[in-house]
Structure 1
Amino acid sequence: MAPRYPIPATACRMEDSIKRSRFIVSADHAPDMDSAKRFVALIKEEFPDATHNCWAFAAGPPGDTAQVGMSDDGEPHGTAGRPMLNTLLHGEVGEIAVVVTRYFGGTKLGTGGLVRAYTSMVNCVLEGLVTKERVETAALLVTIPYQAVTVFKRMLPGYEAEVTEEFFTEEAAFALVLPSEYLERFSEELREMTDGRGRVEVK
């Protein structure tokens, strides 16, 4: 799994009119399949009178297909859900769910037109989306001799590590959280710094 990647920071909605049909695209953060399905249900509830509420989600890192879903919701097979999902998978944003709501305006778009319309709506919301960085973290318990505490605390900022608890008994112990991409290098430096006496336990 990618240790860092962009995810939606907040929900986003945009609207467009294509050949008299009204298209509304809604997107939100979906860290897992359950939250993605809840978001889809919420949008369907908001627009119960829509002709279609087509949807797609990719609830993992960008491009990852382990937790994906899609639906044409009554549009011709392969003209909505699949192009929406393909756009999401190439959109470089992870953990995202999208619903495109359509109110039919009387003019048929044809299969090619539908694919273009649903693709363009997802591209539109991806461009307008505010993102934040998702960082995969590891929780650790670090035990070190007292004489190493000052040097240990000095090394923490370089690993973006945050101490959550401190324990002082026969040795000094610290519960901390740091990006998992740094775990191996952090453990190595700690061992060197304490001549092998420091211990790192992943919680």
Structure 2
Amino acid sequence: MEYFIPKAEIIFEEEIKKSRFITYLRHTEGLEQAKAFWAEIKQQHPQARHHCWACVAGSPNDSQQYGFSDDGEPSGTAGKPMLSYLIGSGLGEISAVVVRYYGGILLGTGGLVKAYGNGVQQALLQVEKFRKVLRQSYRLQCEYDQFNSLQHLIDEWDIVIEEQQFSDKIELTLAINPTQVETFQMLLTQRFAGKLALVKAV
């Protein structure tokens, strides 16, 4: 329920046999964002011959969130090699767009596969990544005199307080890593003598 995603956009540029290849890598959450990124780069480079793209727009293992396009290059020479480097990186929510300004010399299918794949490979080497945890929301009510002790436990377990309401009791909405829910509930039961219980937020 957690994976790494890219932190900032990377741009890598090289010239191969007079053709200019510019690779852009960016964090994109979902296929809509990935396609919007491709459209944005296309607008930035209206004179370029090709704008090929590939994405792993969700978690690294969710093939429903994969996408690619050769954008006019021979089939299988651009989008596929780009995608295979993205999958190989193990990162999620990442898109690559490679812009090509044609230089008049044909590269052949092998040359194209190498050029598009290498652009993404080199850009990936520069990626700074950080961990994304897919958390689930739970509600929890506590008394005021329990709050300090509870807050220590929440900090220890890297749990995010999404919302807190103070009335006769304190009501919290917590975002918890699903793999930790069981253990956290067990600790709550032990520490607060069974008085506190997590309720899954609907």
Residues 41-120 of structure 1 aligned to structure 2 (within 5 Å): 41-120=39-118
Uncovered stretches (5+) of structure 1, i.e. residues with no partner: none
Q: Secondary structure at 2:21's aligned position in 1?
A: strand
Q: Give, in whole Å, the separation in 2 of the partners of 1:39 and 1:97.
A: 8
The count of residues paired between Structure 1 and Structure 2 equals: 200
In structure 1, distance between residues paired with 2:128 and 2:160: 26
Give the TM-score, by structure 2 length.
0.90
**% of aligned pairs identical?**
35
Aligned-pair RMSD on alpha carbons? 1.8
How far did residue 34 of structure 1 move?
Answer: 0.4
**Cα pair 1:140 1:176 within 8 Å, conserved:** yes
Per-residue deviation, 1:145? 4.9
What residue identity is the alignment partner of 2:131?
E
Amino acid in structure 1 at the alignment position of 2:54: A
2:132 is equivalent to residue 134 of structure 1: yes
| Structure 1 residue 146: Cα displacement | 5.3
Name the structure 2 match of 1:167.
Answer: 166
For residues 68-121 of structure 1, the C-alpha deviation after alignment (integer angstroms, 9 at most, x for no partner) is: 111111111111111111111111211011110111112111111111111100
TM-superposed deviation, 1:191: 2.3
Q: Is the 8 Å Cα contact of residues 144 and 172 (structure 1) preserved in structure 2? A: yes
CA contact (8 A) 1:62 1:90 kept: no
**In the alignment, which residue of structure 1 is the partner of 2:120?**
122
Displacement of 1:122 after TM fit? 0.5
Match of 2:154 among 153, 156, 174: 156
Q: Write the distance in 2 (CA, Å) between the matches of 1:23 and 1:146.
A: 61
Distance 2:175 2:63 in 1: 28
